[in-house]
């Protein structure tokens, strides 16, 4: 069934920039949909309409069947993990504390949080005994981004938004993280929206691909369908 639906959505910024115009698509529960296209074509805007960092000018976004305007922002954001390129880890908190942020907001007990943090660090290839008590500044860019992904997964969100999550990494680290994330995807039933300007990354990561071109959704389909109708 549909987890996220965009129905004739237009976003015009206050300076009259039309970021997206009349976009309609559906994201099935448990799938990964990749938004791909050149810089400035509306990918990030589309994503930020899902966690309501921005509001649509026209049209409706549905979350699990409900118009998201009817949902509390706080509730919505508890349900939706967010990973961006410039990670935004909390520098004054250890790796473990960073990953624990959302479970703590949700009031999980300490043992459950500790177990979850260790489990996620291991999943992301960061030995908890080594990394849990380090500060982000001691880690490489790739390791920091792994912590960012672990943090987004921590409280089992229904949806994860990933905006160029591996964009700032060197090509080898980037390929490693793509492969790791593909493995993780198999093991979770989270609905994922993934933004990239790299078509190869899109074809690799996506169950569905939404191709953007200056504010319009010009193609939507499986990687195979996109390759067969370039
Ligand atoms: P992408 O993610 O594909 O790079 P964006 O969604 O960031 O595209 O931007 C789409 C268009 O909207 C661009 O022309 C961008 O400059 C513009 N834009 C993005 N954010 C704002 C904003 N806060 N105010 C005005 N224009 C914006
Ligand atoms: P992206 O990586 O999606 O291209 P940008 O670097 O274009 O992102 O935008 C980074 C931030 O700047 C975003 O928060 C976006 O909303 C804002 N922004 C982008 N374009 C504009 C604009 N023309 N006017 C105001 N803010 C903008």
Which ipTM value was assigned to this complex? 0.75
Evaluate: CB of 44 within 6 angstroms of ligand 2. yes
Q: What per-residue confidence (pLDDT) applies to 211?
A: 95
CA distance 130 to 205: 29
| In the predicted structure, residue 29 carries a pLDDT above the cut 70 | yes
User: 84: closest CA among 220, 158, 193?
Assistant: 193
Evaluate: CB of 213 within 6 angstroms of ligand 1. no
Evaluate: CB of 16 within 6 angstroms of ligand 2. no
Closest listed ligand to the CA of 197 = 1
Evaluate: CB of 159 within 6 angstroms of ligand 1. no
Q: For the segment 100-144, what is each residue's pLDDT rounded down to a tens digit?
A: 998 998 899 999 999 999 999 998 889 999 999 999 999 998 899
**Residue 48 corresponds to which tokens in the numbers above?**
């930020």
Residues 81-110, mean pLDDT to the nearest whole number: 89
Q: Is 184 exposed, middle or buried (0-12, 13-18, 19+ CB in 10 A)?
A: middle
Q: For the segment 179-206, what is each residue's pLDDT rounded down to a tens digit?
A: 988 988 888 889 999 999 999 999 999 9
User: 166: closest CA among 208, 126, 198?
Assistant: 198
Evaluate: CB of 39 within 6 angstroms of ligand 2. yes
| 39-43, 45-49, 169-173: range with lowest mean pLDDT | 169-173
pTM for this model (two decimals): 0.86
CA distance 174 to 196: 12
Closest listed ligand to the CA of 17 = 1
**Ligand 1 center from residue 207 Cα (angstroms):** 25
Q: What per-residue confidence (pLDDT) applies to 184?
A: 86
Q: What per-residue confidence (pLDDT) applies to 68?
A: 96
Q: What per-residue confidence (pLDDT) applies to 87?
A: 63
**Ligand 2 center from residue 127 Cα (angstroms):** 35
Q: Are 32 and 22 in contact (CB under 8 A)?
A: no
Instruction: For residue 177, report the phi and psi dihedrals to the nearest 5 degrees.
Output: -70, -35
Higher-pLDDT residue of 52, 77: 52
Question: Around 1, how many Cα atoms within 13 Å sit in the side-chain half-sphere?
Answer: 5
| In the predicted structure, residue 85 carries a pLDDT above the cut 90 | no
Residues 29-52, mean pLDDT to the nearest whole number: 95
Q: What per-residue confidence (pLDDT) applies to 142?
A: 87
């Amino acid at each position: 069934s549909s987890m996220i639906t965009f129905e004739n959505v237009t976003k015009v910024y206050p300076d009259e920039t039309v970021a997206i115009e009349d976009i309609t698509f559906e994201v099935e529960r448990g799938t990964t949909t990749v938004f791909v296209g050149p810089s400035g074509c509306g990918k990030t805007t589309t994503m930020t309409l899902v966690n309501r960092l921005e509001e649509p000018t026209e049209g409706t976004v549905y979350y699990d069947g409900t118009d998201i305007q009817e949902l509390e922002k706080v509730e919505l954001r508890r349900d939706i993990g967010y990973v961006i390129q410039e990670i935004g880890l909390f520098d004054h908190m250890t790796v473990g504390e960073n990953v624990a942020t959302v479970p703590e907001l949700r009031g999980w007990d300490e043992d459950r949080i500790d177990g979850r943090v260790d489990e996620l660090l291991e999943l992301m290839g960061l030995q908890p005994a080594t990394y849990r008590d380090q500060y982000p500044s001691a880690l490489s860019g790739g390791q920091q981004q792994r912590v960012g992904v672990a943090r987004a997964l921590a409280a089992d969100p229904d949806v994860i938004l990933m905006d160029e999550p591996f964009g700032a990494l060197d090509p080898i680290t980037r390929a490693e993280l793509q492969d790791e994330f593909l493995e993780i995807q198999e093991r979770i039933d989270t609905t994922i929206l993934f933004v990239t300007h790299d078509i190869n990354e899109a074809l690799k990561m996506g169950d569905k691909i939404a191709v953007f071109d200056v504010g319009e959704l010009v193609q939507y389909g499986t990687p195979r369908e996109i390759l067969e109708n370039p």
